[in-house]
Chain A
Amino acid sequence: MFVMTLVSVVSAGAYDVLKLRDGADCAALGTGPAVRDELITLAEGDVAPSYVPVRAAECLVEGFAADPVVVARAKAWVVEGRWAGLGILVAEEEARFSTEDAVAIARAAVAGSDPRVRERVVRRFLKSERGDVRSVVDESAGGR
């Protein structure tokens, strides 16, 4: 079937877990750089159904928040319109990142050039329980 064609290009294992309509268990995907890279490909690629990229990002945030590669992707997601949903997810789940990384991601969000993405993401960082993170976006929210 065509799905098999699609997943052979993208990633058979992770796609088949994430495509299920009712939900997915990130733990079923395993760990390691190969899984991480597969999830990044799914999160940032043109993949249907539309929830697969969001779920892939969710699993990255859940399982790989300490990985510098994922932190770098998160900084991109919080500023780019095509990844605004992933950016919203990162901001909602900022507690999974170290304070240092969360502050860096929040700084990236504040510096983003797309005001629509910035507003949606910054608003969510404002809910952080960590003062260091909040202060980054507080300044932004107050200063704009």
Chain B
Amino acid sequence: MTLLWLLACTAPKDKVANDPAKPAPVVSSDKYGATSDRDGFLSIPVTVDDGVGVFQVVVKPTGRGLVSTEYLYGPGETLVLDWEDWYDSSFSLTESFYAADIATTLNWPVRAEDGPLEPGEYTVVISTLDARGNYVGKSDVIVEVLTRAEPAPAAGTLRTVIAYANNVRDEPGVVEAVEGAVDYWVELYAAVGITLEPEYADIDVDEQLPDTYVGLDEVAAFHEAQDERTTLVVVGERIAEDRWLYGEAGGIPGPYTAGEASAVFVGWLANAGADAEFDDADVLLFGETLAHEVGHYLGLFHPVEDGWEYWDALDDTSDCSAMGRCESDLGANLMFPYPVCTGGSAATCLRQDELSGGQAGVVNRYVGVE
């Protein structure tokens, strides 16, 4: 496949101008409609000017199909990223290679060794697919390209709205617990140089939340109504799907754009425990869950997956391969797949307040850490 061939189908159409009435964002963006070629590929140009440190490309299908990211080319048509290197790998770099019906999100660079960006033209190649994963040509999509300057070290800010679903504010002790959990989350992110700026709001959705990957139209509308881009955490009572009960990120990474799944959903009930009351230890665990789930949204995988056969793509987190060793090496890591508890109360769970330098780099490279 040549880049020339790829570029043949890049011409954006239906360009949507940024609203000039809004304040100039640190993140600049471009949004347009496009159509994949007859083979189901679309090349998306990303212009990297001097000073641009990271970009994020979000592509959403407009119909019922799926989208996935396949390749990234850098200036000079160099192949930077190939989905086939990662798709069956035991190491995870981004979920963007896996076909999704809501969006494919590539935030680049992910790791220090993936950067820095060079000024010039990058090209992200995505594919449009049917539900079985077959390529489908001439499929319409919405493309959003975001770019951000490289921040000074430890200077990034992450705006987050914590939005309560219907009736949640009326539950005794829940608002207090959420605010306590968020205070701890602020501390956890401060340790990796991110200033978390939380705001609280309400969102008119049923407190029985769906799976994040199903999404909610109200989530997209909520984002559209914001003056500035933000990450969104929706606090409901439960995630009322059979599989997901507790908290779940909307993608690794999640999009820094408006969309049905542009949120992290959490349920207060499971976090409060069997008695539906938050004690101090429950609040700390809840804070770690918020930080962990939004950590996924910012691009972090578990350093090791439960089962001990899959790892993140970072070289400063242990590639342990047995439970005891993994708990010893990584049990205090915020992104470990579960809290390591030594007794029957939340107070006996190890604090998971550590992130490696590599993990800190990943979250700071998320385009929404401005």
On A, residues with C-beta under 8 Å from B are 1-6, 16, 19-27, 43-51, 53-55, 57-58, 62, 81-86, 88-89, 92, 116, 120
Contacts and interface: CB of A to CB of B under 8 A. Distances in A.
B246 A84 contact: no
Given A23-B244, A50-B346, A51-B246, A1 B324 contact: yes
B273 A53 contact: yes
Contacts of B275: 81-85
Given A22-B293, A50-B272, 4 more contacts: A23-B243, A48-B345, A55-B246, A85-B269
6 contacts: A2-B341, A5-B342, A49-B339, A51-B271, A83-B275, A85-B274
B216 interface: no
A20 B306 contact: yes
B203 interface: no
Interface residues of B, number: 49
A2 B269 contact: no
B216 to A, nearest CB: 17
B10 interface: no
A62 to B, nearest CB: 6
B300 to A, nearest CB: 12
Contacts of B70: none
Contacts of A26: 242-243
B323 interface: yes
Secondary structure class of chain A's binding surface, majority of residues: helix
Interface stretch (B46-54, B112-120, B232-240): B232-240
Given A21-B289, A49-B338, A89-B238, A54 B247 contact: no
A49 B342 CA distance: 10
Given A48-B343, A50-B271, A85-B276, A21 B337 contact: yes
